[in-house]
Structures are given as C-alpha cells and as structure tokens.
Chains A and B, each alone.
Chain A
Amino acid sequence: MGTMADRISGLFFMALGLVMYFWINPTYIETVDGGNLSPDSLPNICSLILAVAGAFVAIKPTNHHVRNPVLMAKTGLYVALLVAGIWAMSWLGFEYVAPVLALAIMWFVGERRLLWLGLGVVVVPAAIWFIVTQLLGRALP
C-alpha cells in the first residue's frame, strides 16, 4: 500500500510527459525556420525526461505515504473558497470581498471568538486598504 502513491504520481508524470511531447508541444508551440535553438527544444527535452523519470518512479516506487485523504479533501474546500474569492474580487473588488473571505476562512477553521473574528474580518482588511491605497497610492485587486 505504501508504494501506491509513487506508482500513481509516476504514472501521472509519465502520461503528462507523453501528452506534452506528442500533442501539446506540437500544437501550442509555433515552429520557426532557421535559428540555432528551436522554440520546442527545451519543452520537448523536459517532456521526455518527465516521461522517462515518471516511468522509473512507477516501476521502482519508494515507500512514500501520501497525506491523509480527509485533510486533502478539506484543503479542496479551502481552494474552492479561494477560487470563489478571486472570482468575486474580479467583479466586486478587494474592499468588499476580503472581509467576507476572511470571515469564511476563519469560520471554517473553527474560530468563534468575537475579538479575533473582528480583528481578522474588519481590522486586517481595513489596514491593508489604508496602507495600499492611502499610504502607498497603489490599486487593490
């Protein structure tokens, strides 16, 4: 069971290398006539190395244990939250989204104390806004 993580990741990198070499690199790299170093030289070499080394990892795995799947699922939740935050910022701006995002993160972590919630949700975003826009004269996302 301990070798499964390496077998999975090795196969993934082998597949990635092969897909890059045979499909993505030829499709998404423009070719040019002349020159000393073709634009696809480095990507192709890296893709082949990925495929070969990935196969090697899959064939000769180490005893690496992957992280607890429950923790990885929780991480997925936070990633979803951040994706939603970035999307909302593109529409509404940092000023409106940052307090809500901070509240959501702190709430998911399990923070319920009003003092810390107030600091994280009101004081920190307000301080960032003041420093960036008022003191430094730069735009927020």
Chain B
Amino acid sequence: MVDFSTMLAGFGDALSFLNLAFILFGVVLGQFVGAVPGIGPIMAMAIAIPFTFGLDPLPAIAFLVGVNKGGLVGGAVPAVLMNTPGTPDAAATAMDGYPLAKQGKPLKATKMALFSSITGDTFSDIVLITVSAPLAVLALKMGPIEVVALMIFAFSILAGLIGNSLAKGIISAAFGLLAASIGQDPENFTPRLIFGYWDLFDGLALPSVAIGMLAISEILHRLSEAHGNLRPAIIAKNTDNPDDSRVTWAEYWSCRVTMLRGAIIGTILGALPGIGSTAAAFMSYAMTKASSKDPGSFGKGNIHGIAASESANSAVVGANLIPLLTLGIPGSVGAALIISAFMIHGMQPGPLLFENQGRLVYGLFGAMIMANFVNLWVGQLGLRLWVKVVSAPESIIFSSALLLCFVGVSMATSGLFGVAIMLIFAIIGYLMTSFGYSLVIFIIAFFLGPRFEKSIAQSLALTNGDMTQVLKSPVAVALLILSVVSLVWFLRTNARVEDE
C-alpha cells in the first residue's frame, strides 16, 4: 500500500510548471492530429513517443497522456462537423452530432461531444485511481467462455441499431463478420480468402475499412451532390439565440444519467482487454436510445446520442490502464503503446509498480486529471477554430480531407495497399448506404469478429467441445440471459419507433 505522503508528492509533481506545459502541448497536438481522419489518437501517440526519449519519465508520460486524451476529443470533430468519422468509435457520435450540426448548431454539437467526453474520461480516471486493483482482479476472472458470452451480449446490442428491416441489419452484421474472417484463422493460422495477396495475411486493416466506409464514402456522396454548387462544408447559422452555439447547464444536467451509463459501460469494457471503445460507444448509444421516451428523435440531432457515445468511448481510455498498471496487461493498442513508453522511461507495469514507483504512478494519475481540465480549456478554443475551418467551401474541405485520408491510412497500414483497400471499402460503403444497409453494424461486426472467433476457439479447446460447460460459469449464464433480454427489448423498441 502506497503511503499518503507519496500520493501527495506524486500529485504535486504533476502540478509542476514543466509537467503542465507538456500536458498542454500534448493536448493541443492530440486535438489537432486527432481531428485528421486516419490518424487519430493511437497514431498520434505512436508518432509522439520518439519525441519523449530525451525527457524525464513524468513529463514524457504526461505529454503522451495529453496526446491520447486530446486525440479523443479531436476525433469527434470531423465526425460531428462533416459526418466523416476518423475512427470507428466516433461513428456513433456522428449519428446525432452531424444532424445537429446540419441544423445550424455545429458549436453546440461539438461542445456536447467535448463535455461528455471529458465527463466520461474523468469518471474512468477516478475509478482507475480509487479501485483499479480489485477491478483488475475481476477482469482477470473473465476467461474465454465469459468473453464469448460478453461478445454475444455485444452483438445483441446491435439490434438496437437496426432500422426498419431486421433482415438488412442481419446482412450488414454477417457481411462485416465475413470481411473480418479474411486473413489467418485464429486457431490454425492458415490463410483464408486472401486470393494470393499476402498483404491480407494479417487481415483487413481496421483504419482502411473504417475510414473507407465511414469517411470516404460520405465524402464521395457529398462531392457528387456538390457539383457546381459551392457551399460551405457546414453552415453555422447566425441566430439571435445564443443557446444554439452553447450547451446550457440544464441541457448538460439533463444528460447526467446518459453520461453516467456511458461512463460505466466504457469503464467496464475498458477494463477488459481487447473489447475497445467502438463497442462501448455503440453499446451506450443503443441502450440510451432504447431507454429513451422518444427513441424516434435519435439520429436526428438528439444531444443524448452525442453524450452517450462520447462519454463511453472516452471512459475506455482511463479504464484501459487498470489491467496495464496493476497486472502489466495492455487492454488495447493505445495501452500497448503506453506500456512501451513506460518501459522506455524505466517503469515496469505490474503488481509491484505501486510499491516500487508509487510517486511516479500518482504523478501519472495527477497528470491524467490535469489533462482533462486542459482538454476542456483547449477544446473550448479549438472547436471554434474547427467550425471556422469547415465553413470553407466543400471543394477545398473535401479535396484536403481525401488527401489527409490517403496519407493517414498509408501511415497506419504502411503503404498504398491499405489505401487501395480503403477505396474498395469506400465503394462498398457507398453502395450499402445507397441501398439502405447499415454501415455502423458492418463496422462493429467487423471490429468484434476476430476476438469473437478467437474466444470461441479457445472456449472449445478448454471445454473439449462440450459447450454445456458454459452453464458452469455464472457470469457467462448471466450475460447470455442479458443478451436475450436486451435483444427482445431492442427489437420491441425498434417496432415502437416504426409505429410512431
């Protein structure tokens, strides 16, 4: 147990001028780079790590924490303002953020994203600081059988995102899973559906698929409509009502349950290795929609939709550090990057970290809390700038966005092959939306697919193919029951929306 004076000293270190300056620098860089489709917070951190080699451990880690948190806020900007999410988790934010921006309230939409993101993030940071150790032990008890049950629960949540046709929703999910099965299979490592292209051996890269389907397909759609019609990418109406460009306290407070639910979902999923922020964002969105008195208003600019998604995906980040710091297990790519940065700077994550380097750990916690405040402050200024930027004509916004997507995906996938895959999925995405199929369901299924298949293979190996062993796990049984309940609940909600 770390003594109180060490904790205070750690928090005090985080408040030094040098550390605050690096947090500020990291947040500014993260918000800027995170807003570029294809780059996002993970790539921003990967780029930033070499710049920290010459720094002391705490400023270096504070800088990376700033980049990560700033990147999350920045990621919501193109999703809300242009309907071109740079990362899959921001797609949930775009579902209500973009309609609200189109109503002439881009600042309100982006500010709601900022406030709910920071609320969710702060919640998970507090959980990390106070109860990380018992949560990590609980997360470790989730074996493959429980993970399969959790995945089935996550898939049942997809029902909440199905529109007016159940069959079309099922097609989107099956198509996403089929795309996820390209590459080596998780048990025998034999190649599947790679058609001689060995670049596909590791599977389709998530940035290529997600940015192609979500961002490029939308840009293509907007370009085709913009022919000869040179309007701004987003129109911020000049109204006399100041509430159109701000989030009032009453509006923020009305979302408290939505944000709390999102933060809890994000924290729980973030503590489990490998689930990630995309599932958390959509799970929170679907649950908020289903429990709303007016589910029909979702997808049309409801601020609860933005709050649900952003609070959940941001809460994942802090919670990802729970298994990392306490057990040395990175729960996501971002956490894996942080662990590598820790080790570069002499920190050895694991059970002894709090004993051996307690002051540094509490310095990190202090930096995380300070980064949230800085994020809020920088975000308030930065969002105004971004709204001005996207008020430029569509011709320059979309041609620039296309070039940035090319560069971002090329950097993320190490070459033009990834860019070509991005374009193929842009065409698929464009055709799917043209014919009324959900891209969001496709992307979530694609994202969850590899982990789902791997967990099934591990479960079958553990139980020798006897799936009745599932009944011996109370957690798995509870999750399966929850899956059935949520499936029925979501389908009934969808039917209610259709009736209205």
State the A residues within 8 Å of B (CB).
5-6, 8-10, 13, 20, 24-25, 28-30, 32, 35-37, 39-40, 42-43, 46-47, 49-50, 53-54, 56-57, 60, 62, 64, 66-67, 71-72, 74-75, 78-79, 82-83, 85-86, 89-90, 94, 98, 101-102, 105-106, 108-111, 116, 119-120, 124-125, 128, 132, 136, 138, 140-141
A50 CB contact (under 8 Å) in B171, B230, B415? B171
Q: What CA separation (Å) do A37 and B400 show in the bound complex? A: 45
* Any A CB within 8 A of the CB of B427: yes
* Any A CB within 8 A of the CB of B152: no
Q: What CA separation (Å) do A101 and B356 show in the bound complex? A: 55
A128 CB contact (under 8 Å) in B164, B168, B175, B407? B407
A17 to chain B, nearest CB (A): 8
A26 to chain B, nearest CB (A): 11
Report yes or no: B434 in contact with A72, Cβ–Cβ below 8 A: yes
Report yes or no: B226 in contact with A109, Cβ–Cβ below 8 A: yes
* Any A CB within 8 A of the CB of B228: yes
State the B residues within 8 Å of A (CB).
47, 164-165, 167-168, 170-171, 174-175, 177-178, 181, 185-188, 190-195, 220-221, 223-230, 392-396, 398-400, 402-404, 406-407, 410-411, 415-416, 419-420, 423, 426-427, 430, 434-437, 449, 453, 456-457, 460-461, 465
Q: What CA separation (Å) do A43 and B244 show in the bound complex? A: 48
B395 CB contact (under 8 Å) in A57, A110, A136? A110
Report yes or no: A105 in contact with B224, Cβ–Cβ below 8 A: no
> B165's closest neighbor in chain A, by CB?
A62
B178 CB contact (under 8 Å) in A20, A60, A94? A20
Q: List 29 A-B contacts (CB under 8 A).
A: A6-B436, A9-B436, A20-B178, A37-B457, A42-B453, A43-B193, A46-B174, A71-B221, A71-B224, A74-B224, A78-B223, A86-B423, A90-B416, A98-B406, A101-B402, A102-B400, A106-B396, A106-B399, A109-B223, A109-B399, A110-B226, A110-B229, A116-B393, A124-B400, A124-B403, A128-B403, A128-B407, A132-B411, A141-B415
Q: Which residues of B contact A46 (CB under 8 A)?
A: 174-175, 177-178, 181
Report yes or no: A42 in contact with B181, Cβ–Cβ below 8 A: yes
Q: Which residues of B contact A57 (CB under 8 A)?
A: 165, 167-168, 171
Report yes or no: A111 in contact with B396, Cβ–Cβ below 8 A: yes
Q: Which residues of A contact B229 (CB under 8 A)?
A: 110
Q: What CA separation (Å) do A91 and B151 show in the bound complex? A: 43
Q: Given A28-B195, A128-B404, A105 and B437 touching (CB < 8 A)?
A: no
> A30's closest neighbor in chain B, by CB?
B190
Q: Which residues of B contact A119 (CB under 8 A)?
A: 396
Report yes or no: B171 in contact with A54, Cβ–Cβ below 8 A: yes
Known: A89-B416, A101-B402. 17 other contacts (CB 8 A): A6-B435, A9-B437, A13-B175, A32-B188, A36-B457, A42-B453, A47-B178, A50-B171, A53-B167, A57-B165, A66-B434, A67-B221, A74-B227, A86-B406, A102-B400, A108-B223, A111-B393
Closest 3 CB pairs of A and B: A36-B460, A111-B395, A39-B185
B396 CB contact (under 8 Å) in A24, A66, A82, A120? A120
Q: What CA separation (Å) do A30 and B443 show in the bound complex? A: 26
Q: What CA separation (Å) do A58 and B430 show in the bound complex? A: 20
Q: Which residues of A contact B396 (CB under 8 A)?
A: 106, 111, 116, 119-120, 124
Q: What CA separation (Å) do A57 and B163 show in the bound complex? A: 14
Q: Which residues of B contact A120 (CB under 8 A)?
A: 395-396, 399-400
Q: Which residues of A contact B435 (CB under 8 A)?
A: 5-6, 8-9, 64, 66
Q: What CA separation (Å) do A83 and B426 show in the bound complex? A: 12
A98 to chain B, nearest CB (A): 5
A27 to chain B, nearest CB (A): 10
> B437's closest neighbor in chain A, by CB?
A9
> B403's closest neighbor in chain A, by CB?
A98
Q: What CA separation (Å) do A85 and B449 show in the bound complex? A: 32
Q: What CA separation (Å) do A23 and B427 show in the bound complex? A: 24
> B423's closest neighbor in chain A, by CB?
A82
Q: What CA separation (Å) do A25 and B195 show in the bound complex? A: 11
Report yes or no: A79 in contact with B423, Cβ–Cβ below 8 A: yes
Report yes or no: A36 in contact with B187, Cβ–Cβ below 8 A: yes
B187 CB contact (under 8 Å) in A28, A37, A54, A72? A37
Report yes or no: A140 in contact with B188, Cβ–Cβ below 8 A: no
Report yes or no: A62 in contact with B399, Cβ–Cβ below 8 A: no
Q: Which residues of B contact A10 (CB under 8 A)?
A: 167
Q: What CA separation (Å) do A40 and B164 show in the bound complex? A: 31
Q: Which residues of B contact A85 (CB under 8 A)?
A: 406
> B50's closest neighbor in chain A, by CB?
A137
Report yes or no: B220 in contact with A75, Cβ–Cβ below 8 A: yes
> A14's closest neighbor in chain B, by CB?
B171
